Structure 1
């Protein structure tokens, strides 16, 4: 299926690793131009080189997304290089385990900035371009805003905010035919997830314990499966879909996990 994404310029925050990398690669394979924004130069450069080796085109900017000045500079670099922005994937964030019992007010506020504030900042910065091209925004969210996890108040609250902003922006931007949706992730095996699993003394057993509770096929969601949904939501193939929270999680968030 042609997604009509050829030559579309899509900003992907955190687009050089994990789910973000998967989205960037998938965009390039569809003929789109991912503009990758990340703070780690080596990872960003490596992802761009990977895309170019596959015959694709990608742009890049290095930015700490909690810094509004760096966010503005990065968007400016995207416009200077490609002269258009057709879509935004807000993806960057980290489950930083800022809990209620053992966290602090300062840590909680920092977690909100790391995981939510830049979603608003980036959307506001690209909005003039999205108005021109009737673009789309896809926010990446987490099961924690629906299921809870324990010990991660900051991250859960930020993801609740992502869900609310998805609906709010869908309403506010409707007059411009700008669609806004979110993809909710549960258990997706990324390098970051692999690192977390290996903090346990028995990583294989821990992983098996998790996957047995994923109803569909008892396996982790892949980065490609997340990317496929993101690309669909960015494309005109989903031209009458907005304000939706779509769960790509093998039924983890809503189905009986004893299945």
Structure 2
């Protein structure tokens, strides 16, 4: 199916993570559809990824940026405008479940908000004139933690709740000029960061098994590629009347009846 993304400029934050991370997989999926990924991330790994894409004849660019710094975000948006002259979609993908709970410091809590939600607002604000000109759209990457809580991660939970609220707030704002705003809610996805966490636990394999057993559909985690597929559809012209939505890509983890988890003996 042609998603009609060819030559569209897609700004994506947090796409210079480790190979196999959600952002990195989305970035490559964007490129595979013929769109142009404009990567906004602080990790210099982004230069390597863009070099690989360019070697394949794919137009892509990396704009090294600390997204907790509003001035750097503004500079990145200016450089994207100078390079491409347009922005068709923004994917806010930055996120770290940093464990800034009630016992954390005020600064830790505020830093969590700056990374996990304030950066979203800053990036959209700076890209807004170009989004308006293109009648583009925004896709935020959220987390089930904003719905369910998790414990000992007040900053991340508050931020992801804010991301969901901003998604609908922006959908209202964008109606005036024909733009859209949506959010993908992720539950459990086995990324490199997730693997690192599991390996850090003394009972990691048992913990992983207990998590996977609680995912109703096929008792497995959502893959980064499945999340990327959902993202591409939502930013595409095939979803032109979808806005203000929280789309769960989670194998039924959040909403389905827990009785589904009863194992037949």
Secondary structure of the 2:251 match is coil
Q: Which residue of 1 aligns with 2:11?
A: 11
CA offset at residue 152 of structure 1?
Answer: 0.4
CA RMSD of aligned residues (A): 1.1
Q: What is the aligned counterpart of 2:80 among 71, 78, 81? A: 78
Q: Which residue of 1 aligns with 2:62?
A: 60
Q: Which residue of 1 aligns with 2:225?
A: 224
Q: Alpha-carbon deviations, 1:206-259, whole Å to 9, x = none?
A: 211110111100111111111111111111100000000000000011113452
Task: Tell me how far apart the structure 1 counterparts of residues 152 and 56 of structure 2 sit (CA, whole Å).
Answer: 41
Q: Which residue of 1 aligns with 2:164?
A: 163
Secondary structure of the 1:92 match is coil
Q: What is the aligned counterpart of 2:52 among 50, 53, 59? A: 50
Task: Tell me how far apart the structure 1 counterparts of residues 147 and 198 of structure 2 sit (CA, whole Å).
Answer: 22
Secondary structure of the 2:229 match is helix
Aligned: 1:118 with 2:106: no
TM-score computed with the length of structure 1 as normaliser? 0.96
Task: Tell me how far apart the structure 2 counterparts of residues 55 and 246 of structure 1 sit (CA, whole Å).
Answer: 33
CA offset at residue 53 of structure 1?
Answer: 4.3
Task: Tell me how far apart the structure 1 counterparts of residues 186 and 149 of structure 2 sit (CA, whole Å).
Answer: 13
Matched residue count: 257
Secondary structure of the 1:173 match is helix
Secondary structure of the 1:219 match is coil
Report the CA distance shift for 1:107/1:115 in structure 2 as closer, same or farther (over 3 A): same
Aligned: 1:144 with 2:156: no
Q: What is the aligned counterpart of 1:33 among 33, 36, 41? A: 36
Q: Alpha-carbon deviations, 1:138-160, whole Å to 9, x = none?
A: 00000001111101000000000
Task: Tell me how far apart the structure 2 counterparts of residues 179 and 26 of structure 1 sit (CA, whole Å).
Answer: 21
Please say if residues 183 and 247 of structure 1, whose CA atoms lie closer than 8 Å, have aligned partners that are also in contact: yes
Please say if residues 98 and 151 of structure 1, whose CA atoms lie closer than 8 Å, have aligned partners that are also in contact: yes
Please say if residues 214 and 257 of structure 1, whose CA atoms lie closer than 8 Å, have aligned partners that are also in contact: no
Q: Which residue of 2 aligns with 1:214?
A: 215
Please say if residues 213 and 258 of structure 1, whose CA atoms lie closer than 8 Å, have aligned partners that are also in contact: no
TM-score computed with the length of structure 2 as normaliser? 0.94
CA offset at residue 51 of structure 1?
Answer: 2.5
